[in-house]
Amino acid sequence: MYDFSEEQLQRYSRHIILQDVGVEGQEKLLTSSVLIIGTGGLGTPAAQFLAAAGIGKIGLVDADKVELSNLQRQVLHHTPDVGKLKVQSAKEKINAMNPDVEVKTYDYYLTSQNIKEVIREYDFVIDGTDNFPAKFLINDACVMEGKPFSHAGIIRFGGQTTTVVPGEDTPCYRCMFPQPPKPGSVPSCKEAGVIGVMGGVIGTIQATEAIKYILGKGELLTGKLLTYDALKMDFRKINLNKRENCGICSDDPEITELIDYEQGVCEL
């Protein structure tokens, strides 16, 4: 049984009085771990709320440094952080917010050679990346390692998210998109733009999915794609089907080794 301090009982009091959380649920959160890949528009709001919730260990993956153009949406980074590694900037804010949280940083890009070793330490993975090669790599590695994860993407005034729990016969990212698009065929948010609050809306949904998974409560977005159109203020759930011939999650997958796809160059 977790030995709560008086300070912790006060900090998490609004969780503890919740029927579906309580002391046991808060103990689950404090002894759990979540890896956030990408500490940008999606990853920073997710990290902020997971840290506040008392997730015991949060991993942050990002090789980039804070740029001035990030501050419109990447809410853990502030003006004095420009030029600082994103993982270090985010770690400082999390440490100041909640000293209960252990923050582990990875200031390098994940590849087919290192991603499995990193994700094995964590109970749940959040994909906060902004490019297709990373998303396919995360999907494939998580399926191979049996790690549940939240996928999301944002662009312009729109966003989408789904949750994948390998082993539960639910569709993965490749069930929706068997192969990544050709480099340069689909614009990134850096090229097309994105409204700043979009990361907050979708990123906090990702954090919610992680918390629900850890608590074992509610219905996850498995087998569902949640889309959001901010201009119309319209949320929609789209049913997803598991593809019998999926290259990674079928009974006889053709993909047996991780692939490092080519990343297109942004022309903006």
Q: What's the pLDDT at 268?
A: 30
Find out whether 186 and 262 touch, Cβ atoms under 8 Å. Answer: no
First to last CA, the chain: 54
Residue 244 located in a structural domain = no
Find out whether 166 and 146 touch, Cβ atoms under 8 Å. Answer: yes
Among 108, 127, 103, 105, residue whose Cα is nearest residue 63: 108
Q: What's the pLDDT at 148?
A: 98
Please say if the pLDDT value at position 267 is more than 60.
no
Give the whole-angstrom CA distance, residue 88 versus residue 78. 12
Could you read off the pLDDT of 122-151 as tens digits, one per residue? Answer: 999 999 999 999 999 999 999 999 999 999
Q: Quick one: how many helices (H) and strands (E) in the chain?
A: 10, 8
Could you read off the pLDDT of 233-254 as tens digits, one per residue? Answer: 999 999 999 999 999 999 999 9
Q: Which domain range does residue 128 map to?
A: 11-239
Find out whether 101 and 115 touch, Cβ atoms under 8 Å. Answer: no
Instruction: Name the β-bridge partners of 161.
Output: 152, 226
Give the whole-angstrom CA distance, residue 198 versus residue 40. 12
**Residue 79 binned pLDDT confidence (cut-offs 50, 70, 90):** very high
Q: What is the total count of domains within the chain?
A: 1
Residue 22 located in a structural domain = yes
Among 4, 58, 45, residue whose Cα is nearest residue 26: 4
Residue 70 located in a structural domain = yes
Q: What's the predicted TM-score (pTM) here?
A: 0.95
Q: Which residue has the tokens 């999907």?
A: 139
Residue 184, classed as helix, strand or coil, is: coil
Could you read off the pLDDT of 42-71 as tens digits, one per residue? Answer: 999 999 999 999 999 999 999 999 999 999
Q: What's the pLDDT at 188?
A: 61
Please say if the pLDDT value at position 30 is more than 80.
yes
Q: What's the pLDDT at 185?
A: 66
Residue 254 located in a structural domain = no
CATH of the domain at 122: 3.40.50.720
Among 141, 72, 106, residue whose Cα is nearest residue 151: 141
Find out whether 161 and 226 touch, Cβ atoms under 8 Å. Answer: yes
Residue 245 located in a structural domain = no
Give the whole-angstrom CA distance, residue 52 versus residue 265. 36
Residue 49 located in a structural domain = yes
Residue 247 located in a structural domain = no
**What integer best gives the mean pLDDT of the chain?**
94
